Structure 1
Amino acid sequence: MKLRFAPSPTGLIHVGNARQAIANALYARRHGGTFQLRIDDTDRERSRDEYVDALHTDLAWLGITWDETFRQSDRLDRYAAAIETLKASGRLYPCFESEQELASKREARIRMRKPPIYDRAMLRMTAEQRAQAEANGKVPYWRFRLSDRTVAWDDMVMGRSQVKLQSISDPVLVRADGTVLYTLASVVDDMETGVTHVLRGEDHLTNTGVQIDIAEALGGKVGQFAFAHLPLLLDEAGGKLSKRFDGLSIRALRQDGIDPVAIVSYLARLGSADDPAPLSFDDLAASYDVRRVSRSAARFDMRQLLALNRRVMHQMPFGAIRDRLPEGATEAFWMAVRGNVDMVSELRHWWDVVGGVIVPPVQDDEGAYLLQALALLPPEPWDAQTWKDWTTAVRDATGRSGKSVFHPLRVALTGEEKGPEMRDLLPLMGHDRVAERLRIAAR
């Protein structure tokens, strides 16, 4: 078994294609197969080396490793050989129409209430007409003549699927400048590198029918590939997530402080019958079954991802987070705050709370109370019992009870309405810092 993930290096990897990478990597791991990373960089104008580097970095950060990798730009000779094979068999034919001519043809067919597909006019061109066109400076692009049949396969997600090739325009496989398009290059790569299973997005369903026809024209076996098409992702409101992909790149989520375990765990089970849970890659692979993915579009909910990220962080030991903590942060600090943060990016604030400088809000109505609490502040050393002892003394002295005892003190010391347990934060702050903040808030 061999699976592949084949991104184009034209931008940063986002949650949509990361989901496909995760699905392929997990399926390969589950079944002891090979996982191939293929860089589809035949689009020379848009492909960038910096995006290839970013792709490698982001996949590695997610914990995805690959057994083999290559760039399509290094295999141009193999595509050229396939092109000659298809030309020799008559399945690849030259076309000379301009974009304007094609647009005019489509409009005419629509007016006649016919499907706006290519009319194969160039198949009727004589050798003399072609020679004349080339003598006039025209350079052909090349279309693949589709079979007049319906291609069908048993999709591991969508079930029995079919594409009526008669209702599709013959695809362009070679541009006028000689560059090969993905539709052909992908088939050649899959056939020659031994790919057995293709897991990709639902938007490739029609393309799959076309590529099966191309593969068989190149000598491939019927049913050579197994396919699984993952439904597209929607946003929380059911709209197209693609419009928001720029803000949902793996790089952006990483910078926001989302843990890779949360991302992989969430995307691995999104839209399936299995509830997301913070699991290691191996644990996810052990139970991964693409057939449990629903045929319906899945909704990517950032709130669910944050909730899962919170669970990941709650369970994370100090050694696993040490390098991402603010400089100087201790294990005691991490144990105190890890239950109250959704993302790593929030840790900077809580480190400032216990070991840095914050300006608490002035509580005009509580000034006298805060100064009274300051007078009752016990001397150091402090431990986990200090908060209880102090607030008990404050309660007895002021006659207050419940929230009216604790809330003004929390706001004065942390600047927040909620947060980690004060019994854990207080010893980390120290007497002088606590006293200063009480004075500021009491002004």
Structure 2
Amino acid sequence: MTVKTRFAPSPTGFLHVGGARTALYSWLYAKHLNGEFVLRIEDTDLERSTQEAIDAIIEGMTWLGLDWDEGPYYQTKRFDRYNALIDVLIEQNKAYKCYCPKEVLDEVREEQMAAGVKPRYDANHPKIKAANDAATADSPFAIRFRNPTEGSVVFDDQIRGRIEIANKELDDLIIRRSDGSPTYNFCVVVDDWDMGITHVVRGEDHINNTPRQINIYEALGAPVPTFAHCAMILGDDGAKLSKRHGAVSVMQYRDEGYLPHALLNYLVRLGWSHGDQEIFSMEEMISLFELTAISKSASAFNTDKLRWLNHHYIKTTPADEVAKHLAWHLEQQQIDVANGPAITDVIAILAERAETLVELAAQSRYFYHDFSEFEAGAAKKHLRPVAKEPLMLVKEKLAALDSWESEAIHHAIAQTAEDLGQGMGKVGMPLRVAVTGVGQSPSIDAVISLLGRDKTLARIDMALAFIAEREQA
């Protein structure tokens, strides 16, 4: 048997963290067993589904690198198939017409709740029975699934173990609305059957749907997949993760400067573990992943840990790979890298200092764009009249270099300090502010090596002019 999993989001919003983790777990399980992964868009909610949300889901999956083997399938394109099977169930007396209007159903529900009874559809309730009996040939109707009244639904959840629900706790759910559109609980069963889905990984909020769907699988004569229901993700404050905790969409993490691998590594550990290991390559995730290793307990989202992971991947991912993801951020910050050092060389010396790609892009600016002002605090501290002599001498030595390499540049800076009888900081700090405009940077000889001779000397001149103006003030 080929293992086949699916991710089936509803396009009523963006791809959020919980959905992305579900998609990742489904994807990993299929890859782990050399199976197939299907992307399905469950857009039966015609009023709330939008093309914008569909595009956002696909964009999020693509950015994360969770490629699918089949799809995307759209439920709205399969209505003929669903309706044909509903008609079969009606013929087999496994489904029936319900003429009872919504107002009566709401009234019955309120009565049940007031009496402390679990609200459910009861075809034999006097008000519901009267409404059905009073219907005419022209009355609108929905189609309800005739749920078994005896026995129980039992399934072995891969995460939670044995789950048993008595059929008397379930009611006859609507499988086709009065407007002719089939409903989610029916469509999902038909899709899983038609697409050969063997394992369904989804959130614990679907546990209540599972026994209803199992009864429909069995009524159709379809094989019942294996289920795994993941616990929810909580925010830092212990409440269910929501919009108020920050990111609404997975793509917001892209916007905030996270690498997709960092987010995937973080998400896989939100409920799954392999010993004490924290860092996983994609190959390790695939080879080690098991549904039975997913925790039953809720996981708390920790932004600080995600930033730590992101910093790790910025430092350890090959610079050319980081550059692919950095390009978007450079464009957002209007940094043109055409005239300057190779961006991979810049990444190599800046990666240690940046926790996000937003920071990395911002820190790279002075390599590609001249500045007209120095950072106020850094200039006040380091571009003082006392720095004039060290800057003039180091400029002279740099201008005379035959080789514009880090080692030669470092020697020129060290020689300047020695000639003046000063510590390296008395030369290096004014020089850093002069050539970068800011008070912090990687090793100044490495920075100057990438900046180039002309740009370096011109910026030292600008710093000397700044000091001259300060002396006159």
TM-score band, normalised by shorter chain? 0.7 to 0.9
Give 1:201 shift. Answer: 0.8
Distance 1:396 1:163 in 2: 86
Q: CA deviation digits over 1:332-363, x for unaligned, max 9?
A: 22211122222222233222223323432334
Write the letter of the residue equivalent to 2:357. V
TM-score, normalization by structure 1:
0.87
Partner of 1:311: 312
Give 1:305 shift. Answer: 1.9
Distance 1:172 1:332 in 2: 61
Distance 1:370 1:419 in 2: 18
Do structure 1's residue 107 and structure 2's residue 110 form an aligned pair? Answer: yes
Do structure 1's residue 120 and structure 2's residue 123 form an aligned pair? Answer: yes
Write the letter of the residue equivalent to 2:198. T
Question: Does the CA-based 8 Å contact 2:258-2:310 persist in structure 1?
Answer: yes
- Give aligned-pair identity as a percent: 32
Distance 2:435 2:160 in 1: 56
Write the letter of the residue equivalent to 1:426. I
Q: Which ranges of structure 2 fall in alignment gaps of 5 or more residues?
A: 331-336
Question: Does the CA-based 8 Å contact 2:272-2:295 persist in structure 1?
Answer: yes
Give 1:233 shift. Answer: 1.2
Give 1:3 shift. Answer: 1.0
Distance 2:7 2:314 in 1: 29
Partner of 2:333: none
Question: Does the CA-based 8 Å contact 2:42-2:75 persist in structure 1?
Answer: yes
Give 1:32 shift. Answer: 1.3
Partner of 2:225: 225
Question: Does the CA-based 8 Å contact 1:117-1:169 persist in structure 2?
Answer: yes
Alignment of 1:264-303 (within 5 A): 264-274=264-274, 275-280=277-282, 282-303=283-304
Distance 1:392 1:102 in 2: 89
Partner of 2:398: 379
RMSD: 3.0
Question: Does the CA-based 8 Å contact 1:163-1:206 persist in structure 2?
Answer: no
Q: Which ranges of structure 1 fall in alignment gaps of 5 or more residues?
A: none
Question: Does the CA-based 8 Å contact 1:355-1:428 persist in structure 2?
Answer: no
Secondary structure of residue in 2 paired with 1:376? helix
Give 1:220 shift. Answer: 3.1
Partner of 2:334: none
Partner of 1:82: 85
Write the letter of the residue equivalent to 1:191. W
Question: Does the CA-based 8 Å contact 2:265-2:280 persist in structure 1?
Answer: yes
Partner of 2:66: 64
Q: CA deviation digits over 1:258-314, x for unaligned, max 9?
A: 22221222222322223442513x332111112111111112222222221222221
Alignment of 1:417-436 (within 5 A): 418-429=440-451, 430-436=456-462
For residues 38 and 432 of structure 1, do their structure 2 counterparts lie closer, same or farther at Cα, with a shift above 3 Å needed?
same
Question: Does the CA-based 8 Å contact 1:95-1:122 persist in structure 2?
Answer: no
Secondary structure of residue in 1 paired with 2:24? helix
Equivalent residue pairs, number: 437
Do structure 1's residue 73 and structure 2's residue 76 form an aligned pair? Answer: yes
Question: Does the CA-based 8 Å contact 1:376-1:390 persist in structure 2?
Answer: no
Give 1:226 shift. Answer: 0.8
TM-score, normalization by structure 2:
0.82
Question: Does the CA-based 8 Å contact 1:370-1:439 persist in structure 2?
Answer: no
147-156 or 186-195: bigger deviation? 147-156
Question: Does the CA-based 8 Å contact 2:29-2:290 persist in structure 1?
Answer: yes
Alignment of 1:29-428 (within 5 A): 29-69=31-71, 70-121=73-124, 130=132, 132-134=134-136, 138-148=139-149, 149-221=151-223, 224-244=224-244, 247-274=247-274, 275-280=277-282, 282-323=283-324, 324-325=326-327, 326=330, 327-328=337-338, 329-330=341-342, 331-358=344-371, 359-362=373-376, 363-364=379-380, 366=382, 367-377=384-394, 378-380=397-399, 381=401, 382-385=404-407, 386-387=409-410, 389-390=412-413, 393-394=416-417, 397=420, 410=432, 413-414=435-436, 416=438, 418-428=440-450
Distance 1:365 1:269 in 2: 45
Write the letter of the residue equivalent to 1:95. C
Distance 1:296 1:98 in 2: 41
Distance 2:97 2:136 in 1: 11
